[in-house]
Amino acid sequence: MNIYLNLRLVTVARRNALKAFYGFMTVDLDTKVPLSTVQRWASWAERYGEICTYMKPYRRLLYGATRRLQCATTILLDQEVKRAVRLYGAYDVG
């Protein structure tokens, strides 16, 4: 992440943006997904939600999918969570 105070600009490093894009796009959403993967998505959504504010509402869906579950769990994603993952994967933050 780069912060330019004079320009009032915050950007994401290209490497980090590509890593998040890859992480969102390489998981089969129609099978059970490890809880750690969903937590990673929620973390990226939190980070990039500060830069792209209109994506903020979707991070709540990702965090909601991880509530009251143990770390070794795999979960089936509902349609809203799948949609949020696809939106974050399609959003070009780089």
Model confidence pTM above 0.85: no
**pLDDT computed for residue 30 by the predictor:** 92
3, 79 contact by CB (below 8 A): no
What spatial distance separates the first Cα and last Cα of the chain, rounded to whole Å?
10
Number of domain units in the chain: 1
Q: What is the pLDDT of residue 6?
A: 77
The residue that leads in pLDDT, 82 or 12, is 82
Residue 46 has a pLDDT of 84
What's the pLDDT at 1? 60
Residue-number span of the structural domain to which 11 is assigned: 2-90
Q: Note the pLDDT tens digit of each residue in 57-78.
A: 888 888 888 876 776 688 889 8
Condensed to tens digits (0 to 9), the pLDDT of residues 1-38 reads 666 677 777 677 788 888 888 888 889 999 999 988 99
